[in-house]
C-alpha cells in the first residue's frame, strides 16, 4: 500500500491531511519536527513526502535540498505545502527537485490530484529507470559480446594469416619443384631427341648417301666427258648443275639436323605445320623409301600458321613416323615373306570443323595397338620394342610437348588394318 510521510509543524494541518489521505486509500505517518524526517525515513520506506515550507528550526527548502542530495532518498517525490504564494519560492522549490506544491488551506480535490500525479510521474520515472538499467545491462552485454567477437575475429585473422603464409610457402616450394620439373622435362625432351637422332643415324646415312651417289656418278660422267675431250660445254654444265643441286640437298639435310639437335629450350614462333612435316622427311624420307613405305601427304595448303615450337613439333611428328614405320615392319615380319607389298603412311592436315584448331592425322597400315596396351602407350618407358630399339619415351614426351602447346594427342583408331593418331592444336582467336 502506498505510504505517505507528512512533515509539518502545525498539528491541525497534519490531522486534516492525514484524514484526507486515509480517505484516498493511502497509509500515512507524520513528523511534527523537521528533525524527525530522516530518522523516520531510516525506519521505513515512503512513496511520497508532503513537506511544509514554513517551519521553525529547519525550513522546508533546506530539508528538500538535503533529501535531493541523499543517495537513498533523492528519488522519493516531494510535494511542498505552502501558506503563502511566493512565486520565487515556488520556483526555487521546483528548481531544487520538488515534484509539485500545494497551497494552504488544503482542498481535498487538489491534494488528491497532485498526489496521484506525483505518484504516477514517479512510477514512470521508475519504469524509465528500470528500462535504462536494462538497456545499460544489454549495452554492457553487447560490449562484452562485441569484444568476444573482436577477439574471435583477431584470432581467426591471425590463424588465416598463418595459413596464407603457409600456403605461400607451399606455393613457393611447389613453384620451385615445378621449375625443376620443367628443367628436367626439357632435359628429357632433349635426351630423347638425341636418342631418336641416334636411332635415325642409319637412316641419315641413307639420306646423305643418296645425293652422294648421284654426285659420284655425275663426277664420273664429267671425268669421262673430259677424257674423251668432247668439249660439249652444255653437257658439262648440266652435270655440274647436278652436282651443285645434290650438294645443296646434303647441306640442307646436315643444316637441319644441326638445328634440330641443338635447341633444347622451348622457342615459340609462327609455324606452318605443313613445313614442319615436310622437314621430317629430310631426315627420314629416304629411309622410308628404302623400306618400301609409301608416304601419302594430304596437306591442306590453306591452314593458318600457329604459334609453336617447330623443333619440338618435328620431334613429335618424327616419333609418330618412326612408330608407324616400326609397326609396318613388325607386321611384315609376322606375315609370309612373299606378301611384302607396299605399305603406306598417310598424313593429313586441316582445320577442325569448328575452325578453332588444327587437326593432324598420322595413319599407318601397321600392326595396330592391342586393346590391353592402348591405355599404356603414352606412359613413360612403355615399349613393346626390343631392347635398344625403343626407349618407350617417344609418345610420353610427345604428349608433354603437345600439352605444352595447349593441344591434344590421342590414339584415334587402331586395329589389324593399322593405326591413326590425331593431334589437335588450338588456333589463336582472331
Ligand atoms: N603406330 C603404332 N602402331 C602400333 N603400335 C604403336 C604405334 N605407335 C606406338 N605404338 C606402341 O606404343 C609404344 C610406345 O611408343 P613410344 O613412341 O612411346 O615408344 P617407342 O617407340 O617404343 O620407343 P621410342 O619412341 O622411345 O623410341 C610402342 O612401343 C608401340 O608398342
Ligand atoms: Mg616411338
Ligand located closest to 325 CA: 1
366 lines ligand 1 (CB under 6 A): yes
Centroid of chain to Cα 287: 52
Instruction: State whether the beta carbon of 203 lies less than 6 angstroms from ligand 1.
Output: no
* Domain formed by 267-430, architecture: 2-Layer Sandwich (3.30)
Residue 394 near ligand 1, beta carbon < 6 Å: yes
Average pLDDT, the chain: 90
If you search the block for the grid coordinates 525515513, which residue do you land on?
41
**How high is the pLDDT of residue 189?**
79
Ligand 1 centroid to residue 255 C-alpha, Å = 28
pLDDT over threshold 90, residue 273: yes
CB 349 within 8 A of CB 303: yes
Evaluate if residue 338 carries a pLDDT over 50.
Answer: no
3-state secondary structure 236-292: HHHHHHHHHHHHHHHHHHHHHHHHHHHCCCCCCEEECHHHHHHHHHHHHHHHHHHCC
Q: Is the pLDDT of residue 288 over 70?
A: yes
Confidence check: pLDDT of 304 > 90: yes
> Residue 230 pLDDT more than 80?
no
Model confidence pLDDT, tens digit, residues 45-96? 999 999 999 888 888 999 999 999 999 999 999 999 988 767 888 898 999 9
Tell me 353's DSSP state: T
**Alpha carbon distance 59, 37 (integer Å):** 12
- Sketch the domain layout of the chain as residue ranges: 3-106, 267-430
- 333 compared with 363, residue with greater pLDDT: 363
Ligand 1, atom nearest to 366 Cα: 3
pLDDT tens-digit readout, 414-430: 999 999 999 999 998 76
Global pTM reads 0.60
Whole-number Å distance, alpha carbon 381 to ligand 1 midpoint, is: 10
Instruction: Starting from the CA of residue 393, give the closest ligand.
Output: 1
Burial class of residue 87 (count of CB atoms within 10 Å of its CB; 0-12, 13-18, 19+): exposed
CA 286 to chain centre: 53
Q: Read off the C-alpha cell for 250.
A: 646434303
Residue 316, pLDDT score: 94
CATH number of the domain at 3-106, out of 3.40.30.10, 3.40.710.10, 3.40.50.2300, 2.60.40.420? Answer: 3.40.50.2300
Ligand 1 pocket check for 391: Cβ under 6 Å: yes
- Which of 194, 389, 390 to probe ligand 1 with, by most ligand atoms within 8 A of CB? 390
Q: Is 407 in the pocket of ligand 1 (CB under 6 A)?
A: no
Amino acid at each position: 500500500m502506498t505510504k505517505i510521510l507528512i512533515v509539518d509543524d502545525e498539528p491541525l494541518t497534519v490531522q486534516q491531511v492525514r484524514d484526507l489521505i486515509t480517505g484516498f486509500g493511502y497509509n500515512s505517518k507524520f513528523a511534527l519536527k523537521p528533525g524527525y524526517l530522516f530518522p523516520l525515513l531510516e525506519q521505513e520506506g515512503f512513496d511520497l513526502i508532503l513537506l511544509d515550507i514554513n517551519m521553525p528550526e529547519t525550513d522546508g527548502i533546506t530539508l528538500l535540498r538535503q533529501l535531493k542530495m541523499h543517495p537513498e532518498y533523492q528519488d522519493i517525490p516531494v510535494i511542498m505545502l505552502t501558506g503563502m504564494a511566493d512565486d520565487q519560492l515556488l520556483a526555487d522549490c521546483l528548481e531544487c527537485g520538488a515534484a509539485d506544491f500545494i497551497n494552504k488551506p488544503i482542498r481535498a480535490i487538489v491534494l488528491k490530484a497532485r498526489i496521484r500525479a506525483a505518484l504516477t510521474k514517479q512510477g514512470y520515472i521508475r519504469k524509465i529507470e528500470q528500462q535504462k538499467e536494462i538497456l545499460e545491462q544489454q549495452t554492457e552485454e553487447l560490449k562484452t559480446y562485441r569484444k568476444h567477437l573482436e577477439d574471435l575475429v583477431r584470432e581467426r585473422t591471425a590463424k588465416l594469416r598463418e595459413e596464407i603464409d603457409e600456403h605461400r610457402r607451399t606455393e613457393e616450394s611447389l613453384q620451385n619443384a615445378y621449375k625443376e620439373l620443367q628443367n628436367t622435362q626439357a632435359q628429357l625432351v632433349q635426351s630423347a631427341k638425341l636418342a631418336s637422332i641416334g636411332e635415325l643415324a642409319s637412316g641419315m646415312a641413307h639420306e646423305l648417301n643418296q645425293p652422294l651417289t648421284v654426285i659420284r656418278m655425275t663426277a664420273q660422267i664429267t671425268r669421262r666427258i673430259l677424257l674423251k675431250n668432247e668439249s660439249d660445254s652444255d653437257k658439262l654444265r648440266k652435270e655440274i648443275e647436278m652436282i651443285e643441286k645434290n650438294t645443296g640437298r646434303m647441306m640442307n639435310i646436315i643444316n637441319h639436323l644441326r638445328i634440330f639437335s641443338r635447341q633444347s629450350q622451348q622457342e615459340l614462333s609462327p609455324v606452318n605445320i605443313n613445313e614442319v612435316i615436310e622437314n621430317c622427311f629430310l631426315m627420314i624420307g629416304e629411309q622410308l623409301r628404302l623400306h618400301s613405305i609409301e608416304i601419302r601427304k594430304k596437306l591442306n595448303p590453306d591452314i593458318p600458321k600457329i604459334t609453336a615450337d617447330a623443333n619440338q613439333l618435328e620431334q613429335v611428328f618424327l616419333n609418330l613416323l618412326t612408330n608407324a614405320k616400326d609397326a609396318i615392319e613388325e607386321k611384315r615380319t609376322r606375315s609370309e615373306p612373299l606378301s611384302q607389298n607396299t605399305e603406306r603412311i598417310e598424313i593429313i592436315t586441316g582445320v577442325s570443323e569448328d575452325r578453332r584448331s588444327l587437326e593432324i592425322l598420322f595413319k599407318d597400315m601397321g600392326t595396330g595397338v592391342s586393346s590391353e596396351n592402348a591405355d599404356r602407350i603414352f606412359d613413360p618407358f612403355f615399349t613393346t620394342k626390343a631392347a635398344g630399339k625403343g626407349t618407350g619415351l617417344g609418345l610420353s614426351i610427345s604428349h608433354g610437348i603437345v600439352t605444352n602447346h595447349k593441344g591434344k594427342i590421342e590414339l584415334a583408331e587402331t586395329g589389324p588394318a593399322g593405326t591413326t593418331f590425331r593431334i589437335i592444336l588450338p588456333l589463336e582467336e582472331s
